Amino acid sequence: MIEMRVNHQLYQIEGDGKLLPFLRDVCKCKSVKDGCSEGACGACHVLVDGKAVKACIPTLSDMDGRHILTVEGFSQEEKELYAYAFAHAGAVQCGFCIPGMVICAKGLLDENENPTRKEIAYALRNNICRCTGYKKILDAVELAAKLKREGNGIPREESGWKLGERAHRIDAREKTLGYGEYVDDMEIEGMIYASAIRAKYPRAKVLSIDGTKAEALPGVVGVYTAADIPGDVKVGHLVQDWDTMIPAGECTRYLGDAVALVAAETPEILEKAKKLVKVSYEEMPFVSSPYESMKEDAPKLHPGGNLLAHKHVSRGNAEKAIANAKYVCTEKFHTPYTEHAFLELECAIAMPYEDGVLIYSTDREPTRPSTNAPKCWGFPMKRCGWSTSWWAADLAAKRT
């Protein structure tokens, strides 16, 4: 029996498991965000006996006898402090990383009430912000430290802003305190769960997909393949060359390709069912970099070859400028990679809506199918996006 306290409440737990799903699903502490599930982003930070820890790493048995604090367990005064400081500094953009930042800030300020900027940055070194708002986040922690030290209470948030004045974002408070809902935080009664089976090899011919054992498992709603999708539906933001699912007989192009979709009544049944789906492959040579893909003998990933796009950018009269230049040099220039730091699980929730499907998705824009759009396309959708997810919705809606 594991015993631990979460926000001062005692929990006695039989069995084991990861701390993060326990906090989110059992304790309903949705401020603890699941940004990557693998210790890379810091969105899931909690305080364990006062020290900042990423909740996606330890197991429940590691937490035996410990006290875990999430933003939900802060005193009202602390909530007001951080909500004000983060809103006032303009530190909250999408807000996904903010509760994790707040946890690390509290861990620091509880030990050091007057940290330097460098010490604040060090305390937040394991927290990624995909909106790249680090400067303002550091400003927010500095402001929180100052208000805490001075002990004169939290300034009242002004209402009736005038043009030119600094206004707090209207959703800054809910995002700082972690009760603002992202798709993964939403729970809908009677919801079923779906997840894709991804390609086992970066390039392989899918010989067969057998979902019969999985479908026989109680609680499984269905196993779906490309054959269940009417028409040839390809998606993609720049070029629509991405199969929603790879059909038997076709080739995968990378490890992320979906080959089947499983839907079940609970996440636990879903995980078991996914393991029962048998996919057989014939491995094929693959390319692992753009340079490899440019070689003449490189395997062709698409019928039209491997070149995605060739853009020529020119501004002004380049020929004349070169002809008149004192010196001319020819070089190859590369722009640096800008990794925007991926956070938040790719997920979507779909439900029957009037005569179509309503979708909540973490994506930004609709991914339009190229041809033979299925019937659900064009019906009311909210922040619709990732293709396999809306197929899941369509299929599940038909079943229910």
Query: Phi and psi of 158, rounded to 5°?
Result: -70, 145
> Are 217 and 272 contacting, i.e. CB atoms less than 8 angstroms apart?
yes
* Strand duo 67-69 + 2-6: pairing: parallel
- Reported as half-sphere exposure (CB side, CA atoms, 13 A), residue 230 has a value of 8
Which of residues 35 and 222 has its CB atom nearest to ligand FES in the complex?
Answer: 35
Per-residue HEC secondary structure of 232-252 comes to CCEECCCCCCEECCCCCCCEC
Residue 338 CB, nearest approach to ligand FES (Å): 15
Residue 345 CB, nearest approach to ligand FES (Å): 9
95 binds ligand FES (CB under 6 A): yes
User: Which uninterrupted H or E stretch holds 161?
Assistant: none
Which of residues 21 and 352 has its CB atom nearest to ligand FES in the complex?
Answer: 21
Which of residues 47 and 92 has its CB atom nearest to ligand FES in the complex?
Answer: 92
Looking at 34-42, 80-88, 247-255, 368-376, which segment touches ligand FES (CB under 6 A)?
34-42
CA distances from 173 to 80, 147, 281, 328 (A): 9, 17, 50, 56
Give 75's contacts (C-beta < 8 A, 6+ positions apart).
none
97 binds ligand FES (CB under 6 A): yes
- Tell me the C-alpha distance between 15 and 177, whole Å: 30
Which of residues 184 and 257 has its CB atom nearest to ligand FES in the complex?
Answer: 184
Looking at 4-12, 129-137, 181-189, 278-286, which segment touches ligand FES (CB under 6 A)?
129-137
Residue 262 CB, nearest approach to ligand FES (Å): 23
Give 111's contacts (C-beta < 8 A, 6+ positions apart).
50
Task: Figure out which of the listed residues 39, 304, 305, 380 binds ligand FES, where binding follows CB under 6 A.
Answer: 39
Interface mask (CB under 6 A) for ligand FES, residues 279-318, using x and -?
Answer: ----------------------------------------
Token pair for 359: 């979708």
94 binds ligand FES (CB under 6 A): yes
Which of residues 98 and 251 has its CB atom nearest to ligand FES in the complex?
Answer: 98
- Tell me the C-alpha distance between 400 and 230, whole Å: 19
Which of residues 127 and 225 has its CB atom nearest to ligand FES in the complex?
Answer: 127
Task: Figure out which of the listed residues 6, 22, 31, 34 binds ligand FES, where binding follows CB under 6 A.
Answer: 34
CA 324 to chain centroid: 51
53 binds ligand FES (CB under 6 A): no
Residue with tokens 């020529």: 312
Give 146's contacts (C-beta < 8 A, 6+ positions apart).
none
- Tell me the C-alpha distance between 384 and 289, whole Å: 31
Token pair for 52: 């900042």
Task: Figure out which of the listed residues 133, 178, 211, 366 binds ligand FES, where binding follows CB under 6 A.
Answer: 133
Query: Phi and psi of 283, rounded to 5°?
Result: -65, 145
Residue 281 CB, nearest approach to ligand FES (Å): 31
366 binds ligand FES (CB under 6 A): no
Interface mask (CB under 6 A) for ligand FES, residues 330-359, using x and -?
Answer: -------------x----------------
Task: Figure out which of the listed residues 19, 41, 214, 263 binds ligand FES, where binding follows CB under 6 A.
Answer: 41
Residues that bind ligand FES (CB under 6 A): 34-37, 39-44, 54, 56, 92-98, 129-131, 133, 343
